[in-house]
Amino acid sequence: MPIESYNPHTGRVLRRFKDFSWAKTERILGQAHREAATWPATTFAHRAGIMQKAAGLLRERQDELARLMALEMGKPVTDGRAEVLKCAACCEYYATHAEGFLADEMVKTDASRSFISYQPLGVVLAVMPWNFPLWQVVRFAAPALMAGNVGLLKHASNVPQCALALENIFHDAGLPAACFRTLLIGSDLVEKLLTDDRVRAVTLTGSEGAGASVAAIAGAQIKKTVLELGGSDAFIVLADADVALAAKTAAHSRMINSGQSCIAAKRFIVEKPVIKEFISQLKTHLLAMRPGDPLDEATQYGPMARPDLADELTQQVDDSVAAGAKVELFGGQAKPGTALFRPVILSNVKPGQRAYDEEFFGPVALVLEAKDADDAVRLANDSRFGLGAGVWTSDPKKGEAMARQIESGAVFVNGLVKSMPELPFGGVKKSGYGRELSYLGIREFVNQKSIWIGNETAPAAKTE
């Protein structure tokens, strides 16, 4: 895939970039490897100062960065600003908490003193997607850099300007240039990087296929991986829930980033007594949302990131309808080869349909009928994915009990599923493994080293 900025709203290529040769990539890797020998010697206070400056620059440049996201992948500028501010908050969070998260942890053993020490691994490669071009990167970079690692970013080929802008922010904040570099490379060079001993670990956010490929290569090299892959998140609505609030939240969740979010609610599992009311209200909220130019402040959702993604989603919908799914809200593409995709609601979603088995990465709401709460949990777990889930009920204790039964990395009861610095983020099953964010995220790319110290002097030898 060419490395170019393609505006999905206008259909025009804005800029093309020459991809890096292996010679240039290898030279940058060598610089990063050398920096990895010195960066860990800096103090947490020094690193925190740089991270705080990066947060300030993100806030200063929020309009510029939001415009870049709108142009490169169609995110409305209002949503883009919110993403930038979330990145700034993440930088500040790790600037404040990294030292405490990585402090020596004393453990009582037979030693005079023993503890767990957390030390950086070195060069970490990040393979990142286009849907949240800044947030996906910062939630890796902020903890990794604060832990004393250095980062190499292989971003999605359609957001090169976002990738370079983030590199500039870290450098302008005072981070040594070799500590964080954007690599304008294709996927063909990822394998060469992973087989180089100077790369110590890799984190990938992306598709199930990409994750399996990277994990296989890294596994053959005995290298640590963190994978955040697809999701087909369940959004359970019980009969005792506030259906009006649930439907309003459902519409918002389904349309985040034009539906192109791993943790957007996708499968709406609704108890039979309230399913008609839920669909009616969901339809009303989706129809009220305004599409348009992502640069327009009034736009609530823009185009999908590329026409081919909209084409594939259309095929998934058509195949599901042919297999028995019912269209409750007609939307979709105006014509093939265009990126704007209006919301669709499908009901009567059953096993054997693509709507039941696959992730729909776009503005299509899939409604499944549940007999009761136990059936809702069964349907939620009948998926190869397990990233996030939501439960809506007037009984928080029931919601908590259900949350414990659902197979996913996160469950939100009576709230919108979201990522935040304070809580770990990641999945189970085909949604990946490992965690980002919270104290767990910063400990993914460190050597959790056990240190055991005996008595300072050996027992005195017996004398005659």
Hey, which residues are catalytic here?
228, 262
CA distance linking residue 434 with residue 151, whole number of Å: 18
Whole-angstrom CA distances from 50 to 60, 90, 205, 258 are 15, 13, 25, 34
Write the secondary structure of 420-455 as one string of H (helix), E (strand) and C (coil): CCCCCECCCHHHEECCECHHHHHCCCEEEEEEEECC
Cβ atoms of 363 and 251 within 8 Å: the answer is: no
Among 153, 133, 144, 154, residue whose Cα is nearest residue 84 = 133
DSSP-assigned letter for residue 197:
T
Cβ atoms of 158 and 8 within 8 Å: the answer is: no
Among 290, 222, 235, residue whose Cα is nearest residue 261 = 235
Among 454, 458, 463, residue whose Cα is nearest residue 114 = 454
CA 226 to chain CA centroid, nearest Å: 11
CA distance linking residue 334 with residue 340, whole number of Å: 8
What residue type is 153 in one-letter code?
L
Alpha helices in 236-303 (DSSP H): 243-255, 275-288
